[in-house]
Amino acid sequence: MLRAETVCHAVSALAKERVTLDYASRFLRRKVVESDGGLRFLVDLPEAVLLHEGDAFQLRDGRLVSVVAAVEPLLEVSGDIARFAWHIGNRHTPCQIEGECLRIARDPVLGDMLLGLGADLREVMAPFSPEGGAYGHGRTHAHG
């Protein structure tokens, strides 16, 4: 089976294949994945990484497979976004900051909480790329 042991950043334009992954699937270390064109390969990285749109796996034979962020069901939160961001962060919920709104994964409990706080909510389908942690890389949470 083909193997990818390296991730290249911001090189997707050079790739002939692509793999579309949701947010949860873009955090990986070792997994068999299949490109949108049907190419199966083993991702076998030295450590878990969070992949971003535009990154690419480099296969052992030199080919690149670009990473595309999948469209996912999200809640778009608007209104007093500083206050809502605090409440979302207080629950350690991944959050994407989009200028005048926030985006989180659809969650009825968080949606109800935010409505109760006066937020305007809109269901959207979009790629999800939340902010990374201040003390770790990507979505890890290290204090060392």
- Do 89 and 101 lie in one domain? The reply is yes
- Do 44 and 62 lie in one domain? The reply is yes
In sequence order, the 6+-apart residues with CB closer than 8 A to the CB of 108 are none
- Do 97 and 122 lie in one domain? The reply is yes
CB atoms under 10 Å from CB of 43, counted, come to: 21
Is 0.75 topped by the overall pTM? Answer: yes
Residues paired with residue 50 on neighbouring β-strands, in sequence order? 27
- Do 64 and 41 lie in one domain? The reply is yes
Per residue in 131-141, pLDDT (tens digit) is 887 655 455 44
**Boundary of a domain, candidates 30, 47, 69:** 69
Provide the token pair at 32. 């068999």
CATH at residue 15: 2.60.260.20
Per residue in 6-27, pLDDT (tens digit) is 999 988 788 899 999 999 999 9
Pairing of strands 64-69, 96-98: unpaired
Provide the token pair at 108. 């009825």
- 76 within 8 A of 27, measured Cβ to Cβ: no
Q: What is the dihedral of CA 20, 21, 22, 24, to 10 degrees?
A: 180
How many domains does one find in the chain?
2
